[in-house]
Every structure is written in C-alpha cells, then in structure tokens.
Amino acid sequence: MHIYKVGGAVRDRLLGRPVSDIDWLVVGATVEEMHAKGFRPVGADFPVFLHPKTGEEYALARTERKSGRGYGGFTFHASPDVTLEEDLIRRDLTINAMAEDETGTVYDPYHGQSDLDQRLLRHVSPAFAEDPLRVLRVARFAARYAPLGFRVADETLELMRQISASGELQALTAERSWKEIERALMEAQPQVFFQVLHACGALQELLPELGDAPQALAALEQAAMHEKPLHVRWACLLQSLTPAAIKAINQRLKAPRECQELALLTGECLKLGNQAQELPATTLLELLQKFDVYRRPQRFEDFLIACEMTALGEGKAGHPQADYLREAAAAARAVDVKPLVQAGLTGQALGEALKSERLKALEAYKLG
C-alpha cells in the first residue's frame, strides 16, 4: 500500500499558495484492507474513505470509462493493480495530475510542473473531452490563477470548443452548473471565467442571454476587486439584461433566493439608480418601497453597491448618486410613526399617512 497527496494540494504547494484541503490517494490497497485499518467508507460511486483520526478523504486508485451522457456517465474500476499513473491520467489538467509521497518526492508523469512554470492550463489526455463539466472547471481555474498569468492552452481550448459544440453541456444539471458558476464568481478574477466560456462557445450553450457583455464583466471585476459578496457579484453580471432574461437565468440555474432577488431588482432599477438626483420625490419613494428599504435596508445597500461597481467598471471615479440615495433612504426612514398611531390611525389609513409623511421628508431632502 502506497499513499500520496494528489491534486490541488500538490499544485498549490508548488505555486507557493496556501494549502487548505488535502486529497489522498491510496495505491495497492483493497476495500477490506482500508476497513481493517479503521477507515470509514463514504463513496457511493467509487471507494472513498475517511481517515479514522483526521477525517480527511482517502480514495483508492481507480480508472474510469465513459459509459453514458454527461459528467456522470462513467464506469469506475478500483483495484490494487491500478497504478499511480493510471489514476492520474484520468484527471482534468496536468497541474492537477501530480502526486507527492511522504518523503516530499513529486511524481509528475504528465509534466504538470512544466505547465506550472509556463503558466498553462493544459488537459492531461484526450479523455478530457468525455466530461463536459471540465469546461466549467478549466474556466474556473483560469479565473483563479489569472493573477498569476495563467491561460488556457490552445489545444485545450479547442477541446472545450468541441465539447460545447457537441451538446454535452446540456446534460449538466442546474445544481452542478450553478455550483461551478458560484465558485467561479468568488474567484480572484471571475470575469475571466465568462471570457473563457465565451471563447470556447460554452457561454452560448449555458447563458445565451448574457452574450458578450463588457460592461457587466467590468462591473463584476470591480466587485471582485472590492471583495463584494456572491449576490452582489451576480447582480453585477446580470445588470444589463431584461427582467425576463434575468428571471429565465435564475430559474434555469436555480440560483439562491438572495441572488435572484438582488439581480432582478438591480436589472429593473439600475437606470433609476443612475439618475437618482433627477428623480421626483414620488419616484424616489416608489424606489425605496420596491426594495422594502424600511424592513430590508441591507438589500437596498447591496443594490447601491452594485451601482457603484458599475460606475467603477465604466472608469468613473465614484458614484455620487449612490450616496444621494443613501441619504434619501435615511430621510424616509427617519419619519416617526408614533404620532400617527397616537392620532388614532390604523390599517390602510395609517399606511397612507405614513407614505405621505415619507414623501414630505423626501421633498424636504431634495430641497435641502
């Protein structure tokens, strides 16, 4: 039995990056031997075990064969006679197909270290084309390592084009597609993810509504640079689309509710946000009500942040309209409901009176 660190742990150590999760590969062992050593099985499709003390995952070396459509259409074979090289060749990229033993010796049969030096994301073998999910994974790695100067190798990009043209991407489930998109959005340069997908034709298959959207990608880039949360980045990406298109994407990908809400509201209200100082008090009040700013002030703040990221993406130094709207919201929220209640108003009458007082507050704010 031989045990190796594999994949991202080896890659990131060689790049001098922090190593968080470690994947372990076991060569020359049987399921029974793993049980005897106290490992707990967790893999449903192939033998993966949890270490009895550390809880880290240990997988038996395996080969795989394409047996169906999509990223799940594979038959796996795990046995003690599967070699390290046979296991590593099934992996997606050469930089992920390296192993390290307990002495620190690196096993690199597919020249991953050379590609690290050349800053290349290159597929290991032609079998790369059998798994459509790898198109999204490579684009995500491109987004992660773009600050280090990495790019997708030409021959790998060509394989990604072939996968996109084959229709295999349509076999990806909404949950799996969203998981990759979500992770990509939180990478260092998420706009690169969508640029790579556009270059290989996958964007047209997965997000045809988006197209080539430089303004949206510039806003997304700014959101990442300023370390904004996921739902703000998603809103920046979809901001220039119609509400119908935003709804279609959200429903198709089953995006989280917070992402769906902010993206749709941003798409509907971005133009108003950019014209805030010219809006009459009645429109300002409608905008605040649309965001339910009195009960959900953070959602309105997230919208304003998306507006600011858009302005920065357009090369503007700032976005004074956002500060104007923050102050307008504060003026409306400052209206005290207690005198109205003390006057005996209830129900609809109270709501109308409160609305009237908030309108007066906004009119006074505009005059001031």
**Which pLDDT score, from 0 to 100, does residue 67 have?**
47
Question: Does residue 87 lie in a domain region?
Answer: yes
pTM of this structure: 0.90
Question: What are the tokens at 271?
Answer: 């133009």
Give the tens place of pLDDT for each residue, 309-367. 999 999 998 899 999 999 999 999 999 999 999 999 899 999 999 999 999 999 999 99
- Angle, vertex CA 20, rays to CA 18 and CA 23, nearest 5: 120
CA distances (Å), origin 367, targets 35, 242, 329, 333, 362: 76, 34, 15, 18, 9
Question: Does residue 45 lie in a domain region?
Answer: yes
Contact criterion met (CB below 8 Å) for 362 and 285: yes
**Which pLDDT score, from 0 to 100, does residue 71 have?**
52
Rounded distance, CA 69 to CA 170, Å?
10
Question: Does residue 20 lie in a domain region?
Answer: yes
- The pairing of beta strand 57-60 with beta strand 48-50: antiparallel
Beta carbons within 8 Å of 132's beta carbon, 6+ residues apart: 70, 71, 163, 166, 168, 169, 171, 172
Rounded distance, CA 210 to CA 238, Å?
7
**Which pLDDT score, from 0 to 100, does residue 64 have?**
75
Question: Does residue 76 lie in a domain region?
Answer: yes
Which of 311, 316, 307 shows the shortest CA–CA distance to 269?
307
Question: Does residue 34 lie in a domain region?
Answer: yes
Question: What are the tokens at 363?
Answer: 């009119």
Q: What is the CATH number of the domain that holds 56?
A: 3.30.460.10
Beta carbons within 8 Å of 88's beta carbon, 6+ residues apart: 6, 97, 98, 99, 107, 109, 110, 124
Give the tens place of pLDDT for each residue, 273-286. 999 999 999 999 99
DSSP three-state, residue 152: strand
Please provide the average confidence, as pLDDT, over all residues in the chain: 94
Would the pLDDT of 47 be above 90? no
Would the pLDDT of 216 be above 60? yes
| Number of separate domains in the chain | 1
Give 21's pLDDT tier (boundaries 50, 70, 90): confident
Question: What are the tokens at 152?
Answer: 């997708």
Rounded distance, CA 91 to CA 257, Å?
34
Give 69's pLDDT tier (boundaries 50, 70, 90): low
Question: Does residue 131 lie in a domain region?
Answer: no
Give 68's pLDDT tier (boundaries 50, 70, 90): low
Question: Does residue 11 lie in a domain region?
Answer: yes
Give 72's pLDDT tier (boundaries 50, 70, 90): low
How confident is the model over 203-220, as a mean pLDDT? 93
Rounded distance, CA 284 to CA 310, Å?
20
Would the pLDDT of 70 be above 80? no
Residue ranges making up the domain that contains 3: 1-118
Question: Does residue 92 lie in a domain region?
Answer: yes
**Which pLDDT score, from 0 to 100, does residue 74 have?**
53
**Which pLDDT score, from 0 to 100, does residue 179 have?**
98
Residue with tokens 């930089």: 95
How confident is the model over 130-152, as a mean pLDDT? 97
